[in-house]
Homo-oligomer: A and B are copies of this chain.
Amino acid sequence: MVLNRIEIKYYKKPKISKSILVSGLPGIGNVGKIAADYLVETLGMEKIIDIFSQYFPPQVFIGDDSVVRLVRNSIYHKKIPRKFDLLVLVGDFQGTTQEGQYELSGAILDIAKELRVNMIYTLGGYSTGKIVEAPRVLGAVTDEDIVEPLKKGGVVFPKGEPGGGIVGSAGVILGLAKEVYSIRGACLMGETSGYFADPKGAREVLRALCRILNIDVDMSEIEERSREIEQITEKMQEDIQNKVQQKEDLGYFG
């Protein structure tokens, strides 16, 4: 055997007649990754595929059991009764090169074709560069008629945002889905400062996704993590304001 540039390892090939793929890889504020990992965990999804590739860093992680874990992307599956089969793509990394971004997206879309995916949601962050009180969820779509159903789910479509388009996996998967694989899809981008891993942006993306897919996900834990982050950032902002105030006070008396 010879190692392929991308190695796909199937653990199970579920019988699927119609499925939806949600993708959340590391990126801005890790919004997409946090949201997708949360889905996998909270819904108790089953891993059906591992993807290894020379487009990921040459690295293993070591678990608490001292067992090595080669970096990867993975696809999890859960049948949502009377609705559809849900597939969620998560991973340690996006492809680290331009070529890797395209080839990995192609491999994922090959799998999507095989697992009869007819709609893809890529999740990501949209960097605002400052702390966001109430993060919006911005949308982009492969076909104009997808805009309305997303709006009903609370997604907004402000003109000219995001200005630079979407860079990386969340964009390329969608672009190739439309142009080469004839699969429809949308990108949901949660606003985030972009300065740290942001569960708040992820929570908003998840809320929108659940409304759109009409599925129930227990949000209690991500709510908790969002509140923690909120407290930390509020504290930080107070500290900053206090310092500004002190300076002003000093200035007044100075």
Contacts and interface: CB of A to CB of B under 8 A. Distances in A.
A56 B105 CA distance: 14
Contact of A172 (B58, B62, B164, B169): B58
B3 A166 contact: no
Given A59-B171, A101-B58, A67 B2 contact: no
A184 to B, nearest CB: 11
Nearest to A58: B101
A179 B67 contact: no
A227 to B, nearest CB: 28
Interface in A66-92: 66-72
Number of copies: 4
A65 interface: yes
A134 interface: no
A253 interface: no
A1 B55 CA distance: 20
Contacts of A71: 175
A241 interface: no
Contacts of A68: 140-142, 165-166, 171, 174-175, 178, 187
Nearest to A65: B144
B99 A54 contact: yes
A48 to B, nearest CB: 15
Contacts of A153: none
Given A61-B165, A109-B3, A171-B59, A52 B141 contact: no
Contacts of A96: 98
Top 6 nearest A-B pairs by Cβ distance?
A3-B106, A70-B175, A54-B102, A58-B101, A60-B171, A61-B165
Interface of A: 1-3, 5, 7, 9, 50, 52-62, 64-72, 95-99, 101-103, 105-107, 109-110, 113, 139-144, 147, 157, 159-160, 162, 164-169, 171-172, 174-176, 178-181, 187
